[in-house]
Copies of this chain bind each other. A is one copy, B any other.
Amino acid sequence: MLKNDLLLKALRRESVTRPPVWMMRQAGRYLPEYQVLKSKYDFFTRVQTPELACEITLQPIHRVGVDAAIIFSDILVIPQALGMTVLMEEGKGPLLPHTISTQKDIDLLNENAIVEKLHYVFSAISLTKRELNDQVPLIGFAGAPFTLLCYMVEGKGSKGFEKAKAFCFTNPELAKALLSKITRATISYLKEQVRAGADVIQVFDSWSGLLSPDDFDRFAAPYLVEIADALAPLAPVILFPKGSSYALSSLSHQKSVSGIGIDWGVLPETARHEAGKRVALQGNFDPSKLGMSVTEIKKEVTQMIRRFGVQGYIANLGHGILPNIPVDHAKAFVDVVKEYKESN
């Protein structure tokens, strides 16, 4: 039994006295104790060594007291486990030198070895669950199929992922074959994360907002829903289709979806109107605002909670925390949510 099950309660839309709070990318980046590990071990060593991934996952629990841990890992472990080369140069972003462009490329991706190849993630989850000692829930995660396709086709980060999108538009059947293969691999991967101890699953569609609402319905939504449908019997599922607030209404009608993450591009009132009370909403503080003074942060976060309402709401940023944010600003964000009283 979890000592702090606020996150699970919010995802089940059960009554809470205050919203749960965690921060995207809380494991890493802005924490000095993470920078120490970063200077000693390269990226994939940190990701692939369960003891390191566990330590990094626990750092923000100790330091800023969030209501959930999220396993330290990366969305690109899936393309890697499917057989692609993924290089990660510090400060430069990912590089996949051999990109996908043909049916043959897709056929060569080996989805059967996923669970075996990603054993280090499951070990990290088991170890972290043990160390957490049921203090707070542990979130497992994966990248959404469309977002992974973006990297697998484009080969690197990009502002608009035009090459990946052109691939989808000019070869929709090939794109769908690739998306289906990624989806199957992701489902195996996430199921195993739950078996290893993950209490909640979040799926990050970081680039879905580059798609029009119609193309989101073709290339993103079906695969998000397929994953949610497969995982929902095992753990609550949060979808985070960044920049796709146009999909709030349709996704919130999916019974398998417990929570939807939103960035700051949509007003709390609009988001709540679109999603109704069918799902918990998670977000949507602009990460740049953590640069404001602690007093200002507390004022804005309080207002945000008031606008979303305490029930069915998970306080979070609308995207990852920025590396230059002072730790006490991150802590102020967490503290003000924990101090929130309905009468505020």
A residues engaging B (CB < 8 A)? 159-160, 162, 165-166, 169-170, 209, 212-215, 243, 246, 264-267, 270, 284, 286-289, 291-293, 296, 319, 322
Query: Could you write out 19 A-B pairs with CB less than 8 Å apart?
Result: A160-B319, A162-B287, A162-B288, A165-B286, A165-B288, A166-B288, A166-B292, A169-B286, A169-B292, A169-B296, A170-B292, A212-B264, A212-B267, A212-B284, A213-B265, A213-B267, A215-B264, A243-B265, A246-B267
* Neighbouring B residues of A264 by C-beta, 8 Å: 212, 215
Bound together, the chains give a CA A170 to CA B209 distance in angstroms of 27
Q: How far is the CB of A15 from chain B (nearest CB, A)?
A: 28
Contact A270 B246 (CB under 8 A): yes
* Neighbouring B residues of A266 by C-beta, 8 Å: 213, 246
* Neighbouring B residues of A286 by C-beta, 8 Å: 165, 169, 212, 215
- Besides A165-B286, A166-B288, A169-B296, 8 new A-B residue pairs in contact (Cβ under 8 A), listed by A number: A160-B319, A162-B288, A169-B288, A212-B286, A213-B266, A214-B267, A215-B286, A246-B270
Bound together, the chains give a CA A159 to CA B270 distance in angstroms of 25
Interchain residue pairs A-B with the least CB separation, the first 8 = A166-B291, A165-B288, A212-B264, A166-B288, A213-B267, A162-B288, A169-B292, A169-B289
Q: How far is the CB of A285 from chain B (nearest CB, A)?
A: 9
Most buried by B among A214, A265, A267: A265
* Neighbouring B residues of A267 by C-beta, 8 Å: 212-214, 246
Bound together, the chains give a CA A212 to CA B293 distance in angstroms of 19
Choose one: B166, B170, B265, B289; the contact of A246 (CB below 8 Å): B265
Tell whether A291 pairs with B246 under 8 Å between CB atoms, given A212-B265, A286-B212. Answer: no
Bound together, the chains give a CA A214 to CA B243 distance in angstroms of 16
Bound together, the chains give a CA A243 to CA B210 distance in angstroms of 10
Bound together, the chains give a CA A213 to CA B264 distance in angstroms of 8
Which of chain B's residues has its CB closest to A213's CB? B267
* Neighbouring B residues of A166 by C-beta, 8 Å: 288, 291-292
Contact A291 B243 (CB under 8 A): no
Most buried by B among A209, A267, A291: A291
Bound together, the chains give a CA A288 to CA B159 distance in angstroms of 13
Bound together, the chains give a CA A213 to CA B322 distance in angstroms of 21
* Neighbouring B residues of A288 by C-beta, 8 Å: 160, 162, 165-166, 169
Bound together, the chains give a CA A159 to CA B207 distance in angstroms of 12
Bound together, the chains give a CA A243 to CA B286 distance in angstroms of 15
Q: How far is the CB of A293 from chain B (nearest CB, A)?
A: 8
Q: How far is the CB of A42 from chain B (nearest CB, A)?
A: 24
* Neighbouring B residues of A209 by C-beta, 8 Å: 265
Q: How far is the CB of A244 from chain B (nearest CB, A)?
A: 8
Q: How far is the CB of A222 from chain B (nearest CB, A)?
A: 18
* Neighbouring B residues of A322 by C-beta, 8 Å: 162
Q: How far is the CB of A148 from chain B (nearest CB, A)?
A: 18
* Neighbouring B residues of A289 by C-beta, 8 Å: 169
